[in-house]
Amino acid sequence: GESVGLHLPTLSVQEGDNSIINCAYSNSASDYFIWYKQESGKGPQFIIDIRSNMDKRQGQRVTVLLNKTVKHLSLQIAATQPGDSAVYFCAETNAGNMLTFGGGTRLMVKP
């Protein structure tokens, strides 16, 4: 299928290494943040979320960190696998309104 992330920033990692994907958000009033994964030909898929009253949240192999002071969000993927190769987007919303996406980062995992 046609690639989603032809012109996006690319992060290339070795299989088994940890990955860190960063995102700067724009609205200081945003109170809910979501990381999505998008594979070619598919819609974005929910990975993990975090609310503004937290600064860290962990899932299975993924961790999201939120720094409200500098409006920065990061996604950490532990022991990156080839199946993690995709484009990753952060998204922000204020009270559930106007879910706004960032520009995205393409993750490439080398076997």
What is the length of the chain?
A: 111
34 binds another protein (CB under 8 A): yes
Q: Which of 6, 28, 69, 70 binds another protein (CB under 8 A)?
A: 6
CB of 49 to another protein, least distance (A): 5
DSSP 24-57: E---TT--EEEEEEE-TTS--EEEEEEETT-SEE
The DSSP call for residue 61 is S
- Asked if 89 is part of the footprint of another protein (rule: CB under 8 A), the reply reads yes
Closer of 14 and 45 to another protein (Cβ): 45
Which region among 45-53, 56-64, 65-73, 78-86 touches another protein (by CB under 8 A)?
45-53
Tell me if 41 contacts another protein by CB under 8 A: yes
Q: Which two tokens stand for residue 99?
A: 């879910």
Q: Which residues pair with 36 in a beta bridge?
A: 46, 89
Q: CB 9 → another protein: shortest distance, Å?
A: 11
Which of 16/103 has CB closer to another protein?
103
Please name which of 56, 46, 50, 58 lies closest in space to residue 31, comparing C-alpha atoms. Answer: 50
